[in-house]
Structure 1
Amino acid sequence: MVLEHKKISEQRFLVYIVAATIFLMAVHFYHTELSSYFNPDNYVGIHTVLEFISITVSFSIFLYGWWSFSYTQSARVLLLAFVFLIVGAFDLLHALSFKGMPVFIAESSIARATWFWLAARGVESVSMVAVLLFKNRKISFDPRRFLLLLSGVLIGTLSFVFFRFETQLPLLVIEGQGTTFLKNAAEYAVCFLHFASIILALYLYYEGKKEYHLYVALAFTFLFMSELIFTVYQSVFDIDNLTGHLYKLMGYFFIMKGFYFSIIRRDMFSEKQRLGTLAERERLINHHNGGLFKAIKKGDDYLHFYHGGFLLQQLGRNEEDINGRTLEEIFSAKTNRLLKNYDTAWEEREKVSFWVDYKGSRYIVSLVPIEDDGVVAELSGSAMQADPSFRSGWKDDFESRA
């Protein structure tokens, strides 16, 4: 089942941007009136809900990236997955440390919660620029456990610093007065990186017209506005702080739409095609009248591995008689002539065809060298019983190659 969602168009993209801007301006112009309806006592619960939704998005992207790497081997998706693992962990610690929350390791505090917030935003903004700039490629090895360890070390180290040295770290927010110069400078740096992500995403959309790049641009537009809001609030419990978190949530929603729904839909379609192709290939192999196998050179001989076909059934043999065995073990006889053909295919890197007499019948065997990075890795082979009506003609032809 493929997850469905409405496609975004350039017109809809602009509508979202204009609507977000108008809403932000309305909050600014009617700030006093809105604040009179807002009860700060309810904010801790609202903040927790908003944060846990974005945390769920972060961990969902991580889990999907971890799961999908087994068949996509995509460096970009893997990088994205671990970025959101780190961001989700810092957002979780931010939510648990927020002023008014129950004790978690230490008393909740504005200072520690804000440092966790900046850590999450810093990792997010820097890494997302890198993801957009990074040329995707397939990885031939599996670095997931190493990256998991590295992520754990980063999360653990910064968490230790924020919990252990909280009172010695620079002040970021003065409750009732607003954010400090350091906090604003950090937020503006994040804003700049988010703006760079918007430009990069729009450029990539212009180049390839891929839907998810518009979602990414839209996501970082909301996150850009969110960071601007977090430079002007007076209290962590006021209407501005709430608006900033709402815009952050919208940004994460569109990240999910872009990187998660668009990519998972594409990957699921690709996987369905791949499985369909493999099933068709398996069907063709199993219905092959002859036999298909591969041979790998080991020392002066070759080990064989059977792929499929009716030949073994016709000969009254099974795969255990072939797999991992040499020519001499398969035929229970000297096979110097056959080895010569194998060596020719392997060393000369050319297709070789020859005949083999076995149990009163003649079989035509073909070997094709398969290369990996310019080196022969294996021989792909096929064997089929010769038609008696053509046997004499084939004998003259193939004996000259044997």
Structure 2
Amino acid sequence: MPIPLRHLWLFSSRDSSHRTGLRRAVLLLGAMCLALVAVALLPPLQWLHDPASYLPLHMLLETLAIIAASLVFAISWACYRRLKTDTLLSLACGFAGVALLDFSHMLSFQGMPVFITPADPEKAINFWLAARGMAAGTMLWVALRPWKASGHRLERWAILGLSLFAVTMVYLTVFRHPYLLPRTFVGGQGLTAYKVSLEYLLIAVHLFTACCFWRSIREPQPFNVTALFCASLAMALGELCFTLYTSFTDQFNLLGHVFKVIAYWLLYKGIFVEAIEQPYDQLTRSRAQLQATFDAIPDMLFELDERERIINCHASADARLKVDPKQMIGKSMPELLSGDLLQQCRQTMRNASKRGYAQSQPFILEQPGQALWLQLSVSTRKLGGRPNGHVLLVRDVSLLKQQEERILHLAHFDSLTGLPNQTLFRQRVTLALGQARRHQQSVALLLIDLDHFKHINDTLGHRAGDQLLCAVAKRLRPHLRTEDILSRQGGDEFILALPDIEAQGAMHAAQRLLGDLLEPLHFGNHVTTTSASIGIALYPNDSDNLESLVQHADAAMYLAKQRGRNNVQFYTADLQARMSRLMELENALRTAIEHNELCLYYQPQWALVGQRLTGFEVLLRWQHPTLGSISPAEFIPVAESSGQIAQIGHWVLKQGLAQLARWRHKGLDTLLAINLSAVQFRSTDLAEQIAELLESYQIPPECLELELTEGTAMEDPAQARLQLSSLRQLGVRLAIDDFGTGFSSLAQLRHFPVDTLKIDRSFVQDIDHDQGSADMVRSIIQMAHNLGISTLAEGVETARQLQLLQQLECEAIQGFLWGQPLDCASAETLLASKNSAAILP
């Protein structure tokens, strides 16, 4: 029975990690030795002696050897960045030179075309010996040098340059100075002693190199030392063949080339296995382990690159979260998500980039037939120690969210009606009062008590009473705004908080609720109508704390009951009187246009340079037959709260443009500035309305300037920018009125396509005695000039104010100093004057 190689002392003394490779090496080398013996015993192959037959075989074998040497160079060079070993780099650069020299040897072989100089045996042998010498020297260097890391960035280029320099020197010698080289072949005699001696020297070098590799096999090595050991011995056998041939075309020459190809293939195989195959196998095993870990995770997992594209995807085992990874990979986040969901995902990734890890708030994902609550866990994905995207874990938290919402609902909502209970109501109203305090807004508190509810309980039972309370809550809900807060306080009593609403608005809301409750209510198997008594208290007029407001509203509600039920009462008589005045104005305003009670006045606007009249601002006036002259400061808020401002604003536009058309027909050109209300400005078809009016009255758009207050523009800056852009496309001029009283910033203002900033009169009035106002005006003018926007100061009443504005380079003014608001006839007279400056005081 043959003894296994691993049991032989010679092999058992080597490290176990190399034994499999050694067994294969011994078998291959044994086969090569048998081939050499067989060739020596066989008679000469006559067909090989024909150059025409041998040359193709020679070219084929040399081509294979060149390819193998080139692959050794390419793989070793490419792996240097990962392995950082100068020994591997030496092997790469050495065999780059070997490939070049073997290529030159092939082109110089007898029978090949002219390669710089004519082909001849000695030329081919010289290139051959140079290639063999470089291969032997490289292998010896690799065997003697420790396989260690090297971090110098220029080292590989230096070694490659050294190798190419050696090749260049060989080319120069062979092509330009061949006479410097000893003879290696003599026609009719064969190889010279010099050539044979070099071949034996190369054999000795290869054997010594193999011994060095053999010693290295005793211990584990970071490279495939068995492949290098076997390659060294294969090269030695090849060189032996080249000492035995008598003709360039005999079988020993051919066998030597075959052995050389085998040696290079062994080198390539060793480098390939070490640099590519083994890492790939390790990667495959790692990926399998990682995939097994992923499969054990019940959540979805996505890997994103720096451009938010999915580069890897793991589908959840949960059928509700099933996705096809093939369809996901390559897609970007904007392709899969949109709106708030995309912004929330990006915000979580930004937080993870700052802190390394971040978790989003649970969010809802709508899918056909279901809605899932999901939560993102994001970690920064690093490559080489540097951020390279993110890893997203998507977890289904629907059950957790349902449990959480159930607990919160029981703690904060009335179990009967589903409305907020007293605890939640107090929390929300406290927040609303704080916000109202910061923004100087009002909050109305309405206490609603159902009339004769006890009669329902007594006659139909408490179950029917509970059903009626639920029906009332359902009836009240649709009329509430998002910010309104409705709660059941207990029994038949409800309380409603209305943030950001004045007394008139609260009265409207209360009356609407009373009207809705008078409609038939269906509850259980019953139908009835009911009424309610409502008491109203206002923050901050009546009190600045919730407890007092509730008490005041309760007192007003009892007053409503005392006055016959089914009515609304305010807490104080003063507020009641004010409400009566507002209701009177609101009712009178509804017929003001129809009764021709409204009219327009025109306040001149002047350019300071040349004191020229540049245009008029349109002002609205109301003269009621019984109420007398009513200030715009009083009736404009009434129009806004009652919803009449849009109709009145459109009337002002029509009347103003009609008057401008009449003036233009008389040859009087001017600019007309008309204010837009917030309701008008928010209208989606405002640009279309303006365009129709301009066309209807044949007014050039540059003759119309539309003004909106700074506060209106800053309610929604993004939407305001879009609306202003659509108006600018019409060609009309745009102005920001009351500038300085809002909260706009330079960053926001520069995106608004406006022509003029109108400085609020509150700053102009104090400019001559208040340094803060003067500084504010100066800042506004400088900022406007930097943005290429003109300025107009409102409310200029004194010469000193005018002088200061001139010094600050304000372009235009309006105010009583140079002209009070004029009726139509007076404005026309002023406009018709050939020298408007002549009438200035």
Shorter-chain TM band: 0.5 to 0.7
Q: Give the corresponding residue for 2:150.
A: 139
Name the TM-score, length of structure 1 as normaliser.
0.64
Q: Give the corresponding residue for 1:90.
A: 101
1:240 maps to 2:252: yes
Please identify which structure carries the higher strand content.
2
Q: Name the SS for the 2:252 alignment partner.
A: helix
Aligned pairs (5 A) from 1:134-173: 134-142=145-153, 143-173=155-185
Paired with 1:146 and 1:126, the residues of 2 have a C-alpha distance of 17
Cα shift readout 1:247-266 (whole Å, capped 9, x = no counterpart): 11111121122223333223
Paired with 1:181 and 1:203, the residues of 2 have a C-alpha distance of 33
Aligned pairs (5 A) from 1:248-397: 248-269=260-281, 306=354, 308-310=356-358
Paired with 2:230 and 2:40, the residues of 1 have a C-alpha distance of 21
Matched AA of 1:163: F
Matched AA of 1:310: A
Paired with 2:234 and 2:187, the residues of 1 have a C-alpha distance of 25
Matched AA of 2:232: F
Q: Give the corresponding residue for 2:80.
A: 69
Paired with 2:233 and 2:195, the residues of 1 have a C-alpha distance of 20
Structure 1 residues 192 and 248, CA, compared in 2 at 3 Å: closer, same or farther?
same
Percent identity over the alignment is 26
Contact 2:66/2:103, CA 8 A, preserved across alignment:
yes
1:25 maps to 2:37: yes
Contact 1:97/1:112, CA 8 A, preserved across alignment:
yes
Q: Name the SS for the 1:101 alignment partner.
A: coil
Unaligned runs of 5+ residues in structure 2 are 1-18, 295-301, 307-344, 362-379, 381-841
Matched AA of 1:309: Y
Cα shift readout 1:149-170 (whole Å, capped 9, x = no counterpart): 3322221121011111124421
How many positions carry a matched residue from both structures? Answer: 291
Structure 1 residues 11 and 146, CA, compared in 2 at 3 Å: closer, same or farther?
closer
Q: Give the corresponding residue for 2:45.
A: 35
Paired with 1:164 and 1:20, the residues of 2 have a C-alpha distance of 39
Paired with 1:118 and 1:213, the residues of 2 have a C-alpha distance of 25
1:123 maps to 2:134: yes
Q: CA deviation at 1:74?
A: 2.0
Structure 1 residues 152 and 28, CA, compared in 2 at 3 Å: closer, same or farther?
same
Paired with 1:244 and 1:70, the residues of 2 have a C-alpha distance of 35
Aligned pairs (5 A) from 1:181-192: 181-192=193-204
Contact 1:216/1:259, CA 8 A, preserved across alignment:
no
Contact 1:40/1:238, CA 8 A, preserved across alignment:
no
Which one has the largest radius of gyration?
2
Paired with 1:125 and 1:51, the residues of 2 have a C-alpha distance of 17
Matched AA of 1:115: N
Q: Give the corresponding residue for 1:46.
A: 57
User: With CA pairs under 8 Å and 6+ residues apart, which has the higher RCO, 1 or 2?
Assistant: 1
Q: Give the corresponding residue for 2:839.
A: none
Contact 1:101/1:108, CA 8 A, preserved across alignment:
yes
Contact 1:198/1:217, CA 8 A, preserved across alignment:
yes
Unaligned runs of 5+ residues in structure 1 are 1-6, 294-305, 314-318, 320-402
Structure 1 residues 140 and 168, CA, compared in 2 at 3 Å: closer, same or farther?
closer
Q: Name the SS for the 2:158 alignment partner.
A: helix
Contact 1:8/1:211, CA 8 A, preserved across alignment:
no
1:207 maps to 2:219: yes
Matched AA of 2:101: F
Q: CA deviation at 1:180?
A: 1.2
Of 104, 108, 116, which residue of structure 1 is paired with 2:115?
104
Q: CA deviation at 1:269?
A: 4.9
Q: CA deviation at 1:212?
A: 2.9
Aligned pairs (5 A) from 1:221-240: 221-240=233-252
Q: Give the corresponding residue for 1:56.
A: 67
Paired with 1:173 and 1:69, the residues of 2 have a C-alpha distance of 41
Please identify which structure carries the higher helix content.
1
1:178 maps to 2:226: no
Structure 1 residues 273 and 82, CA, compared in 2 at 3 Å: closer, same or farther?
farther
Paired with 2:350 and 2:179, the residues of 1 have a C-alpha distance of 77
Structure 1 residues 206 and 176, CA, compared in 2 at 3 Å: closer, same or farther?
farther
Contact 1:216/1:255, CA 8 A, preserved across alignment:
yes
Matched AA of 2:197: A
Contact 1:290/1:311, CA 8 A, preserved across alignment:
no
Structure 1 residues 270 and 147, CA, compared in 2 at 3 Å: closer, same or farther?
farther
Q: Name the SS for the 2:215 alignment partner.
A: helix
Cα shift readout 1:322-344 (whole Å, capped 9, x = no counterpart): xxxxxxxxxxxxxxxxxxxxxxx
Paired with 2:185 and 2:142, the residues of 1 have a C-alpha distance of 31
Contact 2:75/2:271, CA 8 A, preserved across alignment:
no
Paired with 2:175 and 2:286, the residues of 1 have a C-alpha distance of 49
Structure 1 residues 274 and 135, CA, compared in 2 at 3 Å: closer, same or farther?
farther
Q: CA deviation at 1:178?
A: 2.4
Matched AA of 1:216: L
Contact 1:172/1:180, CA 8 A, preserved across alignment:
yes
Contact 2:101/2:128, CA 8 A, preserved across alignment:
yes
